[in-house]
Amino acid sequence: MGYKELADLIFPDAKDVSYYEEKYPERDLKEGAVVTRFAPSPTGFVHIGGLYQSLVAKKIAKQTDGVFFVRIEDTDQKREVENGVSEILTSLKEYDLSPDESLNTDGTDNGNYGPYIQSKRKDIYQAYAKSLLEKGLAYPCFCSAEDLNEIRENQTKARQRTGYYGTWTRCRNMPVDMAMEKIKNGDSYIVRLKSPGNPDKKIKHKDLIKGNIEFPENDQDIVIIKSDGLPTYHFAHAVDDHLMRTNLVIRADEWVASVPLHLQLFYMLGFKPPKYAHIAPIMKEEDGNKRKLSKRKDPEAAVSYYREEGIPKEAVIEYLMNIANSNFEAWRKGNKDKSIDDFNFDIKKMGVSGALFDMVKLLDVSKTVISTYSAEKVLEDVLNWSNIYDKDLYELLNRDKEYALKIFGIERGNVKPRKDIAKWSDVKDSIIYMFDDRFLTSNIEYEYQKVTDEDEIKKIVTTYFDKYYDENDDKQTWFNKMKDLSEELGYAREVKEYKNNPDSYKGHVGDISTVIRVKVTGRANTPDLYEILQVLGKESILKRVNK
């Protein structure tokens, strides 16, 4: 009895690998085209790091006329959740990162290199595992959990590396007859790689991001097929990325230490290995220390967070691009109107260690992005967002869309557009005072600044509205009248004038306009007061003044 019989006994129905080699030929792409992928597990949680990785992958594929595909890695069936796959695909779509090839939400495949979900590739993995068994490069292992424990304890006692390797293995050299006997008896087993590695030897590898790295060769007889017949991550990675003709593996750097094993697998299977680019994780600063953005602790680790907060997708993408290539920011400054597609992304410029995720910076980017939107676009986006997350705001805006457009038009579409909105969830608070029914019924604390004396405030407001205010004034006339009003009441017409002679005045024109602003809006900080008065209109203003 030999390896062939053993292989037939274990995988009687597996096809010859030549079948798959022909079915999934080399891709016909131009020189330099990158075929890469995003390979998430459908856990129901899409991490911002996954979006980051997809952005990088899609950008490189696009730039080189290559292919970006998504492969769902569901071989750990304990971790799976029902809507896991659609969550991933929907999130990618939302950010314009839809892959060229992938599983569809209905379970069908889009592309010629599928199935794009690992649980449907069982026969493929088994065919390749069989090919290794046939050559004596893999073997069935019957060790129980207790056996493995015992090995580990002995290794610890002997101060040796733990794991299933070299002389510590129990099934590696089991005679084939004996193994077949056990299988026929119904003993449970898994399939292990018979690693030819020597840890005293080093392998050198050049990672596109990390640069040159050197590791000892792998000598662990890792599991390739588990007892449920499904492959481990390592084995599936080699088989899938070979058959899907990936030539650049972009993945999280937690996998970098597995490179020696992966190269060994490619070699033993007779595959040409891909290039690797290991991306450093997105980090967060906490108490002066850097740590990975955590799914458990940080709400902003979830892609859904940005949707819920109403941070526009362009802002998130711009920010991630900033993290990915530090020269992006300078490029953006010089190319304000260009599409990200025009930016020449270089994966080699990605940071070796994890970039800090800076929410303040992201919101800043978002403010700039939103400042370029037209009032129509803002209204449309806020309506879409509020329809799901804030029904009250949705109804408020829908009551009179023309009025809502005017509000969003304040200080917009000019050379220096307003930059006060960072996310749609901020909008309500920033515009609520523009609605009479809300403003007139609210019990706000008026934030008067310098002038706080009630009689003085009354005098300013009454004089202004009785004598100066005219809703038909243009901005310059309006402003001149503010100055006239200031002068009449003993305030300086110009700030500078006041600063030069503070004792000659009660204050300056800015203090006067603040009083008017606070009286009419309840707030000391608002966008342009003239525009606000224009949008509110006389009727509303008078109601406010008399409140």
Residues that bind ligand GLU (CB under 6 A): 39-41, 73, 237, 251-252, 255
Q: 41 vs 247, which CB is nearer to ligand GLU? A: 41
Least gap, CB of 252 to ligand GLU (angstroms): 6
Packing angle of the helix pair 122-134, 3-10 (nearest 10 deg): 160
Q: 40 vs 310, which CB is nearer to ligand GLU? A: 40
Q: 59 vs 251, which CB is nearer to ligand GLU? A: 251
22, with CB counted inside 10 A (0-12, 13-18, 19+), is exposed
Least gap, CB of 168 to ligand GLU (angstroms): 28
Least gap, CB of 241 to ligand GLU (angstroms): 8
Least gap, CB of 78 to ligand GLU (angstroms): 14
Please say whether the beta carbons of 122 and 229 come within 8 A: yes
Q: 40 vs 231, which CB is nearer to ligand GLU? A: 40
Determine the residue with CB nearest ligand GLU.
Answer: 251
Q: 50 vs 140, which CB is nearer to ligand GLU? A: 50
Spatial distance between the Cα atoms of 187 and 147, rounded to a whole number of angstroms: 14
Q: 168 vs 255, which CB is nearer to ligand GLU? A: 255
Q: 279 vs 378, which CB is nearer to ligand GLU? A: 279
Please say whether the beta carbons of 193 and 141 come within 8 A: no
Rg (CA), the chain: 33
Least gap, CB of 39 to ligand GLU (angstroms): 4
Please say whether the beta carbons of 235 and 259 come within 8 A: no
Least gap, CB of 421 to ligand GLU (angstroms): 35
Which helix (H) or strand (E) segment holds residue 141: the answer is strand 138-141
Cβ within 8 Å of residue 133, ≥6 positions away: 3, 6, 7, 10, 11, 139, 191
Least gap, CB of 64 to ligand GLU (angstroms): 19
Spatial distance between the Cα atoms of 10 and 190, rounded to a whole number of angstroms: 10
Q: 66 vs 140, which CB is nearer to ligand GLU? A: 66
Nearest to 511 by CA among 546, 480, 543, 483: 483
Please say whether the beta carbons of 27 and 245 come within 8 A: yes
Spatial distance between the Cα atoms of 50 and 301, rounded to a whole number of angstroms: 10
DSSP class per residue in 388-433: HH-HHHHHHHHHTHHHHHHHHHTT-SSSS------SHHHHHHHHGG
Least gap, CB of 73 to ligand GLU (angstroms): 4
